[in-house]
Amino acid sequence: MRDIWSFLLQTLTASGAAVLLLIVKVLFRDKLSPRWQFAVWGILGVILLLPAGLFGRYTLLNWPFYVEALRSALTGEYGALAHVTAPVPLPALTAPRSPADWLFTLYCLGVVFFLARYVLSYVRLRLALAQGRPVADGRVKAAAEEYNLPVCPAVEVDGLPSAFICGVFKPVLALPAGAETDEKVILHELLHLKYRDAAWGLVIGFFRCLHWCNPLLWHCADLAGNDLESLCDQRVLERLEGEERRDYGRILLEMADEKYARAPGTTSMANGGRNIRRRIEAIARFKRYPAGMGLVSVCILLTLAAPLIVGSKAVGIPNHLGKIPQIIYARTVPCTTCDGAFDTYAKAVLEQRLDYRAMCAPLSEQNELIEIWRWEHALLWERAGLTDGKLSHPDTSAGYQYCNVTRVGEETCEGLLVLKLNRAPNGESWDSTAASQWMAVQTVQAEKEGGRWVVTPVDEFRAIQGDQTVYGNNSLPGLLYEGREGDFTLRIWWQTASQVNSQVSTSDWFGAYDFFNSTPKPDGEFTTWFNQDLSAEFVGDPADKGRYTSIGFSAAPMEKDGERPELQAPNHGVYGTGSSSGGGEWGSVPLSGSWGDDISFGGGGSSRAGIVDPPDAYAADLYLNGEKAGPLTLYPVEGGERYD
C-alpha cells in the first residue's frame, strides 16, 4: 500500500469479506464446532495478506470502482488508479504534498505506534517473567505426561492473576505465585502450547496494527481471539469427563486476566473477563460433534473461500451508470493480457466507445477521455483519423485483425491494426474486386503499466488498398528472408494475422448465422495465423537457363546459431507443395520451355494460440534437376518488401 487510496481499497475489500463471514458465523453459530468457527477466520486472514485487486479480481463488490469514484469526486483527478502492491504500508520517502498524502502519513504513524505499543508490552511482560521463580514441584510435568502434551519451562510470578503461555519460539508457562494452580488450568495452557496459539495471537495483533483505524476489523480480531479460546476450551473438555467438565467452568472465572489481556505473543486470556459468561454457556452446551460434521464444515469453508479469496472479474460496463462513472468503472476493468488489450483497443475504435478505450488507455490519457466525454466536442473516430474527408468509417461487422504482432521488449508488444473500410476514402475508387477495396491500418503498441496492459497508437490511421483477409495478404507488410545459392536467390515471405476470437453463432427460423461480438475481452488470448510463401529468382546468365529442368525448395525455421533441422525433400519434376506441423515448407516446379526469372512455389501456414514470433532464420535446401545444390541459411532482409 503506497497511498491512502490503496489502503482504502485493501481495508474495504477485507471489510466486505468480514461482513459476510460474520453473517455466516451467526447462521452457523450452533452448527459448527469451535474448531471450524475459528478456521473461518483463516479466510479473512488470507484476504488480508493478498493485495486487493490481484490479477484484476475483486471480492464481492467492485471496490476499485468505489475507491476511484471517491478519489475523483474529492480530488477531480481521473488519471490515477489505486494499485495494491503489498498488504503492508510502503510509504514514499518524500514529504507529503496533498491532504491524501498527509492522511496516509497519519495512517503509517498509527501502524508504527501500535506496533511499538505491542512490542513494548511484550518486552515489559518478558522482563516481569524473568523475575519469576522456576516451578519445582513437578505439577506441569505431571499434567503433560498424563495428557501426552509437550512441556516448556514454567515460572511463578508474583501478582499474576492467571496462568498463560508467553512466547512463540522460546515459550514460558507463567503461573501465579503463592496459589495452587488447578491441573485443568495447566492442561488449558499446555494445549495452547501444543497448538502454538501464541503465534495466532501474534498474527491477530499484526492485523490489528495494519488496520488500526478500521473498527470492524478490530471487532473481528476480538472475535477471533474469543474463538481461539473457545477452541482451547473444546480441546480441554474433550479430555475431561463428568464433574470435571462442570468444574472447569468454575475455574474459568478465576482465569480472567484484564492486566495482560491480549498481550502479544501470549495466551493471556485473549478475550478478557467480559466473555467468560459466553464461554461458560458454551461449556454447558458441550457436545462431541459427529464425524460427518467435519466434511460439512470443509464444504462450508470451501464455498466461502471461492468467492472471497478467488474473487470475481468485472464483465462489461454497466449501462445504468452515467457518462463519467462509466469511464471510471472502465478504468477499473484491467486488461490482464497483451492480447486482451489489443482486442479492447480495436473494439473501442470499431464501436466508438470511450469507455472501452478507458479500459486500455494509459493513465496519463484518462483525464483527456473524461473531458471528451464531458463536453462531447470530439468523437473517438475523429481522434483516430477515421472520419469522412480522411478515411471512411470501418465496417464494424467485419471485426479486426492485427498483422505481424511481435514482442519488442519484455513487457511490450507491437502490431498493425487492420480494419476493413465500407467505402473508399475521398477521391479514391471502389469496386467489387478484393484488390480494389480498402483497409485502414495503424501501428499500435501494448505495454505493461502497473498491473494492467495499455495500448497507445504509434502513428495515425492510413488507407491501404486491398481486402482484409486472414493471412497471406499481399497488401499488408511482412518479413522477408533471403539467401543465395548459385544462380538462384531463395526467398520466404513471413506474415501473421492475430485476433481474439469474437465470432458468435446464433440461429433463427431462417437459419444459422455468425456475427462479430464487439464486447471487449480484456483477458483474451490471440489465435494467430501465420503464412510463409516460398519463391526463387533466377539471377544468373540467361544463356544458362537451358541447364535447368526442375527446381525444388525446402525450408524450416531455425534459431540463430541453433542446430539445423532435418528438411523434407520436395517431389522432383512435378509442381507441388507440402508443409509440416513444425513449420517446414517445401515445393517443386518443373522448368520447361521459356520460363521467367521469378518462380513461385506457393506457401501455407497454420494457426496457434498466442503471439507467434517470427523465426530467427530458415534452414533451406535448393534442388536443381532433382539434385541437392547445397544447404544454405535464409536471414531476414532489413527493410525487405514482398517479392511479387
Same domain, 434 and 539: no
Q: Of 76-85, 190-199, 382-391, where does mean pLDDT reach its minimum?
A: 382-391
The mean pLDDT of 202-211, rounded to a whole number, is 92
- Please report the beta strands in 379-421, taking only residues with DSSP state E, as ranges in sequence order: 400-409, 412-420
What is the H or E stretch that residue 639 is in?
none
Residue 474 has pLDDT above 80, yes or no: no
Same domain, 406 and 486: no
* pLDDT tens, position by position, 167-190: 888 888 888 887 777 888 888 889
Task: Identify the pLDDT of residue 488.
Answer: 94
CATH number, position 406: 3.10.450
Same domain, 156 and 16: yes
Q: Which residue has the higher pLDDT, 273 or 141?
A: 141
Q: Cell numbers 448465422 label which residue?
A: 513
Q: Which of 306, 340, 365 is the last residue of a domain?
A: 306
Report residue 20 as a C-alpha cell: 459476510
Instruction: Please say whether the beta carbons of 126 and 166 come within 8 A.
Output: yes
Same domain, 301 and 332: no
In this structure, is residue 428 part of a structural domain? yes
In this structure, is residue 311 part of a structural domain? no
Q: What is the pTM of this model?
A: 0.79
Exposure letters 115-134 (e unless 16+ CB within 10 A, then b): beebeebbeebeebbeebee
Same domain, 10 and 144: yes
Q: Torsions phi, psi of 475, nearest 5?
A: -85, -20
Cα 171 from Cα 165, distance rounded (Å): 6
Summary mean pLDDT of the chain: 83
Same domain, 495 and 445: no
Same domain, 424 and 488: no
Cα 440 from Cα 286, distance rounded (Å): 75
Residue 32 has pLDDT above 80, yes or no: no
Nearest to 496 by CA among 521, 483, 479: 479
Partners of residue 447 on adjacent β-strands: 412, 454
Cα 453 from Cα 339, distance rounded (Å): 9
* pLDDT tens, position by position, 304-322: 777 787 777 766 677 777 7
Q: Of 48-52, 353-357, 434-438, 582-586, where does mean pLDDT reach its minimum?
A: 434-438
Q: Of 149-163, 394-408, 536-550, where does mean pLDDT reach its minimum?
A: 149-163
What is the H or E stretch that residue 490 is in?
strand 488-500
Range of the domain at 32: 4-306
573 Rama sector, left if φ>0, alpha if ψ -120 to 50, beta otherwise: left
Same domain, 151 and 38: yes
In this structure, is residue 229 part of a structural domain? yes
The confidence band for 588, taking pLDDT boundaries of 50, 70 and 90, is: very high
Same domain, 289 and 359: no
Nearest to 18 by CA among 312, 313, 304: 304
Rounded to 5 degrees, what angle do the CA atoms 251, 256, 258 make? 165
CATH number, position 532: 2.60.40
Q: Which residue has the higher pLDDT, 476 or 381?
A: 476
Instruction: Please say whether the beta carbons of 165 and 171 come within 8 A.
Output: yes
Residue 375 has pLDDT above 70, yes or no: no
Instruction: Please say whether the beta carbons of 590 and 574 come within 8 A.
Output: yes
The confidence band for 276, taking pLDDT boundaries of 50, 70 and 90, is: low
Cα 228 from Cα 38, distance rounded (Å): 6
Q: Which of 416, 439, 465 is the last residue of a domain?
A: 465
The confidence band for 11, taking pLDDT boundaries of 50, 70 and 90, is: very high
Q: Which of 249, 274, 306 is the last residue of a domain?
A: 306
Report residue 573 as a C-alpha cell: 519434376
Number of domains observed in the structure of the chain: 3
The mean pLDDT of 101-116, rounded to a whole number, is 93
* pLDDT tens, position by position, 607-641: 888 888 889 999 999 999 989 987 899 999 876 65
In this structure, is residue 474 part of a structural domain? no
Cα 344 from Cα 547, distance rounded (Å): 56
In this structure, is residue 235 part of a structural domain? yes
Cα 183 from Cα 239, distance rounded (Å): 12
Task: Identify the pLDDT of residue 463.
Answer: 87
Please count the residues of the chain: 644
Same domain, 595 and 628: yes
In this structure, is residue 563 part of a structural domain? yes
Nearest to 574 by CA among 594, 589, 586: 589
- pLDDT exceeding 90 applies to what percent of the chain? 26
β-strands 412-420, 400-409 pairing: antiparallel
Cα 551 from Cα 548, distance rounded (Å): 7
Most confident of the following: 156-160, 467-471, 557-561: 557-561
Task: Identify the pLDDT of residue 451.
Answer: 80
- pLDDT exceeding 70 applies to what percent of the chain? 86
Same domain, 330 and 447: yes
Residue 270 has pLDDT above 50, yes or no: no
Same domain, 602 and 485: yes
Cα 97 from Cα 78, distance rounded (Å): 18
Task: Identify the pLDDT of residue 406.
Answer: 92
In this structure, is residue 517 part of a structural domain? no
Task: Identify the pLDDT of residue 442.
Answer: 92
Nearest to 160 by CA among 135, 187, 195: 135
In this structure, is residue 513 part of a structural domain? no
Task: Identify the pLDDT of residue 471.
Answer: 64
Residue 522 has pLDDT above 80, yes or no: yes
Residue 643 has pLDDT above 50, yes or no: no
